[in-house]
Amino acid sequence: MTKVVNYITEAFGELKNNVTWPEWAEVQRLTIVVAVFSVIFALATWGVDVVFAKALAGFFNLIKG
């Protein structure tokens, strides 16, 4: 158990002392970029889904005759 506690303590020490954290303004800017691209990707996925659904519906209506 002491190894686990030692590992966690050292990990927090690394995060506190050796990691270079970005400035708050950069974090906000990159968060907005990620949010915008997430929305764009979701809309693109929805669009492809709609197109395939309509194509399959048309195909099955064609088969039904």
DSSP string, 22-34: PPHHHHHHHHHHH
SS3 (DSSP) at 60: helix
Residue pLDDT, tens place only, 9-37: 999 999 999 999 999 999 999 999 999 99
The answer, yes or no, to whether residue 62 has pLDDT greater than 80, is yes
Q: CA-to-CA distance for 49 and 43, rounded, in angstroms?
A: 10
Average the pLDDT over 30-55 and give the result: 98
Does position 65 have pLDDT exceeding 90, yes or no?
no
pTM for the whole thing? 0.66
**Nearest partner of 17 among 9, 29, 25, judged by Cα:** 9
Distance CA 21, CA 7 (A): 21
